[in-house]
Structure 1
C-alpha cells in the first residue's frame, strides 16, 4: 500500500521550534477538515561528495544510532500529537534524500504541505529558508509556511489573498475562500500594481480609472467564488504599490495570507516568484503558496 493516503496534510518535521509551530498549525487545520496528518523527517546523509543515500557502508557518518534517534524523535512527536488530538489520525515517517526534492516528490500525494521556515543544522538540516522557498515554488499541492514567531499571532483575524487575474492567483483566490469559510472569518482581497521602471505613476482621473478597471476585473471571479461560499464577507483593496510590501503589511492582522507562485509580468506584475519568497521571509502570519497541481 502507498504510504501516502492522498488526502493527508504532510508536515516537514525535524524537531526544531519552527517545525513544531508548523505541526501545531497542521493539527489545527486537520481539526477543521478531518484530514489525517503525517510527519515527514527527511534524513539527509552527507559526505564530501554530496548525498549518498541509504545503504551506505558501515562507519560512514551518520551511523545507525543517529538514524534510530531520528526515528524515535518522529515517533514521539506523532504519539504526543495523537494524545493531544485523539480525534485525529497522526503518523510519522522518516525518508532519505535531499529535503527539498523529497518533500516536493511526496507533495504529489498530499492535499497540503506544511513547513517551518528554518530547522536544525547538520545532517537533520530540514527546512532552512532556502528549502522552504524551493519546496513552496515547486510542490504539487498548496504549501503553508509557518514561522515560529508568526504562528502565535496568526490564530485570529481575516484571510488575505493577492490576486492579479493570472491563473495562479485565481487558484489562490479559491483556496483563500475555502480557508476563510472553514475558519468563519472575512476575506480581504488585495490587487496591487506598480508602474514599469522609469514611468511615473498615474494621478488624478487617470489613476482612478486604472483602479476602477483593476477592480472590475475581479468582479467575475469574486462572484463565482462568492456563490460557492456566500457566508464569507469580502473586502477588496486596489492599491498602487509593490505587491510584496502591500501583502506583508496586510498580513499584520491576518491569520493567513495566500498567494500564487507566479503571476503576470509588466504593470500588473503581481505574485511573481519573488513576491511569494518575500512573504515567506517577512509575513507576520503563516503564508499559503498555491500552484496548479
Structure 2
C-alpha cells in the first residue's frame, strides 16, 4: 500500500458508494491512486457481527467470497469509469475502526460514508466515523449521502481557533482550495466567557483581537497560496452552528480533530461530530498530516 493512496472504507452501502465517487473525484485532482477496503469483522466475545449473519453463527467461505467479489467489482467499475486512476480493492479482517486507523498510517487520505451496513454497521457519527476521525494518522473525509452534489460549485470552508490541530486543518484547507480552484472561507467563532466571576469583555475588542490572531495564522498560507481567494469571518457565535451554516454553499468543510477557545472540545460529541451529522457537504477532520 502506497503512502500516497486515498483509502476508502467500502461495504457496498449507498453511502459507501457516495464516498467512493468523492474519492475518485479527489484522485482526479491530486493524481493519487485509490484503494477500497472492506473490513470484515468476524467472531467476537459477543458473537458474530459480520454482514448478514446472525449472532453466534460462524460464517462460511461463501460469505467471504461474496465480499471479495463485491469489492473486486466496485474496484473494476471505478477503474473502468476513471481509466487515468489506479484503483485497488482488498478485504481485511478485524474491528473496522481499529483496522482503518492502522491502515490510515499508510494513506494520504481516508474517506468514509457517514453510515453503512455489514462490516460498517452503525457508521453514523458516534460510531466508526467518529472513532476513526479521532485517531486516524491522516485526514479523514466523511461524506454524507445527499451532501455531495449540491455543493460541488461552492467554496472550501475551514474552522480555525489557533489550536495545533486547527492550524493543520487550515493548511489542508488551503491545499484543497488550490487544487479545486475555488475560494477559501476561514471561520473563527468567539463566545464570551460564561463563568460568573469573569468580567464580560467588550465584544468589539474581543473580535478585533481574534481577527488579529487569525491574520497572523493566515500570513504563511497567503504567501504559499497567493492565488487562493480568501474571505474571513470572525463572529460572536457558537462554533458548530457557524460552521454548519458555512457548509451550506461549500463543497468541503474542514476542521481539526480537537480545538480550544472558540472550538473547544472539538473532538467526540462536539463540533466535529455535529458537522459529521449536520453539515451540508463532506467534512474533513484533520488530526495528522
CA contact (8 A) 1:14 1:126 kept: no
Q: Does residue 16 of structure 2 align to residue 22 of structure 1? A: no
Following superposition of structure 1 onto structure 2, how do residues 117-156 of structure 1 map, counting pairs within 5 Å?
117-121=114-118, 125=121, 127-129=123-125, 130-156=127-153
Q: Give the 3-state SS of the residue equivalent to 1:149 in structure 2.
A: coil
Structure-1 residue corresponding to 2:77: 80
Structure 1 gaps of 5+ residues are: 54-58
User: In structure 1, which of residues 169, 178, 183 is the aligned counterpart of residue 175 of structure 2?
Assistant: 178
Q: 1:196 to 1:92 in 2, by over 3 A?
A: same
CA distance in 2, matches of 1:144, 1:201: 40
Q: Does residue 166 of structure 2 align to residue 169 of structure 1? A: yes
Alpha-carbon shift at residue 48 of structure 1 (Å): 5.1
User: In structure 2, which of residues 185, 193, 197 is the aligned counterpart of residue 196 of structure 1?
Assistant: 193
Alpha-carbon shift at residue 63 of structure 1 (Å): 1.2
Q: Give the 3-state SS of the residue equivalent to 1:236 in structure 2.
A: strand
Q: Over aligned residue pairs, what C-alpha RMSD do you find?
A: 2.1
Structure-2 residue corresponding to 1:245: 241
Q: Does residue 205 of structure 2 align to residue 209 of structure 1? A: yes
Q: Runs of at least 4 residues of structure 1 off by over 4 A?
A: 50-53, 198-203
Q: Give the 3-state SS of the residue equivalent to 1:148 in structure 2.
A: coil
Structure-1 residue corresponding to 2:266: 272
CA contact (8 A) 2:133 2:140 kept: yes
Give aligned pairs, total: 280
CA distance in 1, matches of 2:263, 2:83: 45
Structure-2 residue corresponding to 1:49: 46
Q: Does residue 258 of structure 2 align to residue 262 of structure 1? A: yes
Map Cα deviations across residues 90-122 of structure 1 (whole Å, 9 max, x no partner). Answer: 01000000100000000000000000010014x
Structure-2 residue corresponding to 1:56: none
Q: 1:279 to 1:30 in 2, by over 3 A?
A: same
CA contact (8 A) 1:51 1:98 kept: no
Q: 1:23 to 1:271 in 2, by over 3 A?
A: farther
Give TM-score, length-normalised by structure 1: 0.90
Q: 1:201 to 1:171 in 2, by over 3 A?
A: farther
Alpha-carbon shift at residue 13 of structure 1 (Å): 0.2
